[in-house]
Copies of this chain bind each other. A is one copy, B any other.
Amino acid sequence: MKRTKIIPLALVLILGCATIASAQKKESRSAATLRAADAQWQRAFSANDLKRSVDFCAADGSVMAPNAPIATGKPAITQLFSTFFSWPDFKISWNATDVEVARSGELGYTTGLYELSFKDPSGKVINDNGKYVTVWKKQADGSWKVLRDIFNSNLPMPPAP
């Protein structure tokens, strides 16, 4: 009688641990997929590929650039990204330092550092660097799309004129 109670308890513990291990494995696999999506978005941007850059955003996604209103939805995001890509010699790169996906697997974020440069109208190279947070949502087809993207500069505010 004693043994029959111990065995089910042991089974519950083993199954419980297996479930936790499986959830952790699933989470890190999801995080790796999300990190890859962040890097692919970066490559689309580095290639100045407007269509691919916009396609990474969800239909109801928002990009929140500094010193500009929120761009929500693909037409507004297309207009915003077009402005970036129109800057002479525009270059951007970023790298996710942290990636986290919820246990349920459909919501996650990436965060890290960016560097960008472009030429101003006088031909002078403007350099900027800063940080970003991107909130991602997994879509019905399994792909990750940008729900919210926001960034700002690490450089000190230029002095008032």
Contact = CB atoms under 8 A, between A and B. Distances in A.
Contacts of A133: 64, 133, 135, 148, 150
A62 B113 CA distance: 13
A38 B24 CA distance: 28
Interface string A144-160: 00011011111111111
B64 A131 contact: yes
Contact of A154 (B67, B108, B158): B67
> How many identical subunits does the complex contain?
2
A5 to B, nearest CB: 29
How big is chain A's contact interface, by range? 35 or more
A156 B102 contact: no
A67 B154 CA distance: 5
Contacts of A62: 111
A108 to B, nearest CB: 8
Contact of A70 (B103, B109, B131): B131
Contacts of A135: 109, 111, 133, 135
A59 to B, nearest CB: 15
Interface in A105-161: 105-109, 111, 131-133, 135, 147-148, 150-161
A153 B107 contact: no
A152 B109 contact: no
A30 to B, nearest CB: 11
A69 interface: yes
